[in-house]
């Protein structure tokens, strides 16, 4: 259908006034406004149904965003994030219930502290596009045509003026967002060459307001690196910045309770994402292949080789292709580690608060009391060095309770009243002075798992609908009749990521899950398609939706691994 004019739209709305809701369908189509194009992609079936999908596209000639905000991918994502924030600041002026159900309200994907690539705002040479939903207004099932006209013909143009035009945005702040993102991505790409797994800039603010509020704690104590671990980095925008360089190898974060150990580790886990200026973590940057590992009892496990950590289970149960519907603390953590290895993880982040003690340590006395043959578990302490030397996988471990780890650590950082202190030297002396008498228990190599998921693992069908993907929250994904529990996948931060992962699983299943390809290859294929074609490749609608955010390969695999119907063929490949 050819593009219509705003005047067509106005008359159409007025004609619809008072008619039954279904008549709204006539609005679907494209409208050419003087400054932008409005796409009404999908009209909801009734006032309570999922709100109607719309897009606003402003050509760059009108929007006026300079190329330095969209040519560089890091800067573009930051600018898109900023624009989305501006949309959220502007919308409350208009968004309010006006009638039944969703009537009169606007629904734009929420935006958090992390500057993720998202589909809600797209910026480029073409211009800027905003994708969102709105509740076409009705009283009961009778169309409120005048209110619709007000929304579409007055409020949307105002929204464009408030948030989608470069001249109406604070240029300096916008540039700051772009600079911060460019610096963070630059640094993340260079960590490995610098021999680091993470960098925490001096002056960073790590604590959050609360467990459910991701904004910085206002009265927090700024981070200050210990001189012996201080590194200088030269960033393209900020120039020289100093901070803590967390070296490759095995790093312990020790210290008394409540001194900020877990807060530091959590910041490192989040350092795989870029954070907005003012977040406090904008220069906390972690290796992109860093994975937070924890115990997760109750999860299902499908054919994972956990034998490096657990073998000779009672009654001769196999652990080279271990499956369970209900893993224990230690088996779940072992599976989490091996699955991370399968995906090429390079850094494992662990906190004693959330690990299984028996998987982490078995001290001299316990070794004496319980014979090796009676203990299926090889504790992590005996694998940590091997993971590094044989697989290049570093460990950062928060630990206040067991000094046995001093023997295997390259670096020991003590948190003292939120200040990191390099105690590596003292730790060596202590280790020499108090030998633990432990016997190393690890034997044999660690093989990187290579599992082949079977296509019958996944069935997106529910009732008469061939594909049902729903993400009611960050931590819950409904796929067909299955529910995937992502509570323990801590590096997922937004519902839009979970939703995108759900679609990516279906996409993977349709295109690549053939009973031959290994899991890591399937995930790599999906990521390559997204890289080449954008997140939009995952949309199952004829039009792109604004409700997706980018995710890592590691979290996509993590979701598949938690699908309770997952079935695999196992083969093992040695070495890296
Ligand atoms: P630990 O793991 O060492 O027991 P946490 O990291 O849980 O300690 O921190 C204990 C408390 O201190 C938390 O409430 C946290 O928000 C707060 N906290 C952490 N770092 C800082 C900081 N730099 N400034 C102020 N408060 C902080
Ligand atoms: Mg803690």
- The answer as to whether 223 is a domain residue is yes
The answer to whether position 460 is within a domain reads yes
How many structural domains are present in the chain?
4
State pLDDT tens for residues 477-518. Answer: 999 999 999 999 999 999 999 999 999 999 999 999 999 999
8 A C-beta contact, residue 126 and residue 48: no
Q: What values do phi and psi take at 524, rounded to 5?
A: -60, -40
Protein residue whose Cα sits closest to atom 15 of ligand 1: 207
Would you list the DSSP string of 343-390? TT--EEEEEGGGS-HHHH---HHHHHHS-GGG--B--GGGTHHHHHHH
| Mean predicted confidence (pLDDT) in 185-201 | 98
Is 153 inside any structural domain? Answer: yes
pLDDT at 574 over 50: no
In whole angstroms, give the CA distance from residue 106 to residue 309: 51
Q: Which of 206, 260, 262 to mutate to test the pocket of ligand 1 (most atoms within 8 A of CB)?
A: 260
Q: Which two tokens stand for residue 105?
A: 């309200």
pLDDT on residue 572: 55
Q: Are residues 460 and 442 in the same domain?
A: no
Tens-place pLDDT, residues 236-279: 999 999 999 999 999 999 999 999 999 999 999 999 999 999 99
Mind listing the pLDDT tens digit for each residue in 360-382?
999 999 999 998 888 899 999 99
Closest to 483 (Cα-Cα) out of 409, 367, 563, 414? 563
Q: Are 555 and 500 in the same domain?
A: yes
Residues 482 and 521 in one domain: yes
Q: How far apart are CA 453 and CA 391, in angstroms?
A: 24
| 571 — pLDDT class (breaks 50, 70, 90) | low
The answer to whether residues 411 and 457 belong to one domain is no
Pairing relationship of beta strands 106-107 and 127-134 according to DSSP bridges: antiparallel
Mean pLDDT of the chain: 96
61: in domain: yes
Which residue, 413, 429, 446, sits at the end of a domain? 446
What pTM was estimated for this model as a whole? 0.97
Domain ends where: 446, 475, 500? Answer: 446
| Domain identity same for 243 and 279 | yes
Strands 230-235, 476-479: pairing is: unpaired
pLDDT greater than 90 at residue 575:
no
1 pLDDT above the threshold of 80? no
Residue 1 lies in a domain: no
Which residues have CB less than 5 Å away from ligand 2 (the ion)? 262, 353
What are the φ/ψ torsions at residue 124 (nearest 5 degrees)? Answer: -175, -170
Tell me, in angstroms, the distance from the centre of ligand 2 to residue 256's CA.
Answer: 9
Could you report the per-residue pLDDT of 85-126, keeping only the tens digit for each?
Answer: 999 999 999 999 999 999 999 999 999 999 999 999 999 999
> Domain check: are 437 and 348 in the same one?
yes
Does residue 174 fall inside a structural domain?
no
Does residue 75 sit within a domain? yes
Integer-rounded Cα Rg, in Å, for the chain is 26
389 and 455 in a single domain? The answer is no
Burial of 548 (0-12, 13-18, 19+ CB in 10 A): buried
The answer to whether residues 238 and 312 belong to one domain is: no
What residue owns the CA closest to ligand 1's atom 10? 258
Q: Do both 300 and 241 map to the same domain?
A: no
Domain assignment of residue 135, given as a range:
6-169
Instruction: Give yes or no: residues 137 and 231 share one domain.
Output: no
Query: Do residue 411 and residue 551 come from a single domain?
Result: no
Angle at 461 (CA atoms; ends 456, 462), nearest 5 degrees: 135
Phi then psi for residue 143, to 5 deg, are -60, 130
Q: Classify residue 244 as left (phi > 0), alpha (psi -120 to 50) or beta.
A: beta
In a domain, 77, yes or no: yes
Beta-ladder partners of 18: none
Ligand 1 pocket test: pick from 214, 252, 256, 258 the residue with the most ligand atoms within 8 Å of its Cβ: 258
Last residue of one domain, picked from the residues 417, 446, 475: 446
Same domain assignment for residues 440 and 454: no
């Amino acid at each position: 259908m050819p593009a219509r004019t705003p005047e067509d739209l106005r008359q159409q709305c007025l004609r619809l006034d008072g008619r039954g809701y279904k008549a709204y369908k006539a609005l679907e189509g494209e409208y050419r406004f003087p400054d932008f194009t409005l796409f009404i992609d999908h009209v909801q079936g009734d006032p309570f149904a999922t709100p109607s999908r719309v897009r606003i596209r402003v050509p760059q000639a009108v929007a006026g965003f300079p190329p330095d905000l969209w040519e560089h991918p890091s800067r573009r994502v930051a600018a898109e994030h900023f624009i989305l924030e501006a949309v959220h600041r502007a919308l409350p002026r208009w968004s309010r219930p006006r009638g039944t159900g969703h009537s009169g309200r606007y629904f734009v994907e929420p935006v958090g502290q992390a500057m993720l690539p998202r589909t809600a705002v797209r910026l480029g040479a073409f211009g800027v596009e905003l994708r969102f939903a709105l509740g076409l207004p009705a009283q009961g099932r009778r169309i409120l045509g005048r209110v619709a006209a007000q929304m579409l013909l007055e409020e949307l143009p105002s929204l464009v003026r408030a948030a989608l035009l470069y001249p109406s945005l604070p240029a300096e702040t916008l540039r700051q967002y772009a600079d911060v993102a460019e610096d963070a991505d630059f640094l993340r790409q260079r960590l490995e060459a610098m021999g680091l797994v993470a960098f925490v800039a001096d002056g960073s603010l790590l604590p959050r307001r609360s467990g459910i509020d991701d904004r910085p704690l206002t009265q927090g104590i700024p981070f200050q690196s210990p001189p012996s671990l201080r590194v200088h980095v030269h960033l393209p925008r900020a120039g020289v910045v100093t901070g803590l360089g967390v070296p490759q190898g095995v790093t312990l974060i020790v210290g008394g309770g409540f001194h900020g150990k877990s807060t530091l580790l959590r910041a490192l886990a989040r350092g795989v994402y870029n954070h907005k200026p003012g977040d406090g973590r904008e220069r906390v940057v972690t290796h992109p292949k860093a994975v937070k590992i924890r115990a997760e009892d109750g999860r299902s496990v499908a054919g994972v080789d956990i034998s490096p950590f657990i073998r000779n289970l009672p009654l001769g149960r196999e652990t080279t292709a271990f499956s369970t519907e209900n893993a224990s603390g230690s088996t779940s953590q072992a599976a989490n580690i091996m699955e991370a290895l399968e995906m090429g993880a390079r850094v494992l982040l662990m906190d004693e608060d959330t690990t299984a003690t028996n998987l982490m340590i078995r001290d001299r006395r316990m070794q004496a009391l319980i014979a090796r043959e009676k203990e299926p578990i090889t504790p992590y302490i005996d694998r940590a060095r091997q993971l590094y030397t044989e697989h290049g996988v570093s460990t950062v471990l928060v630990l206040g309770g067991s000094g046995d780890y001093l023997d295997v650590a390259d670096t020991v950082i003590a948190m003292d009243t939120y200040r990191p202190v390099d105690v590596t030297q003292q730790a060596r002396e202590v280790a020499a002075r108090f030998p633990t008498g432990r016997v190393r228990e690890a034997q044999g190599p660690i093989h990187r798992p290579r599992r082949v998921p079977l296509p019958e693992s996944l069935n997106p069908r529910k009732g008469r609908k061939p594909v049902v993907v729903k993400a009611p929250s960050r931590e819950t994904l409904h796929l067909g009749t299955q529910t995937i529990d992502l509570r323990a996948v801590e590096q997922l931060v937004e519902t839009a990521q979970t939703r995108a992962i759900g679609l990516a699983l279906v996409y993977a299943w349709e295109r690549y899950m053939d009973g031959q390809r290994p899991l890591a290859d399937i995930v790599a294929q999906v990521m390559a398609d997204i890289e080449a074609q954008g997140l939009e490749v995952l949309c199952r609608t004829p039009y792109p939706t604004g409700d997706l955010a980018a995710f890592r390969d590691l979290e996509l695999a993590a979701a598949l691994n938690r699908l309770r119907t997952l079935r695999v063929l196992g083969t093992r490949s040695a070495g890296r």
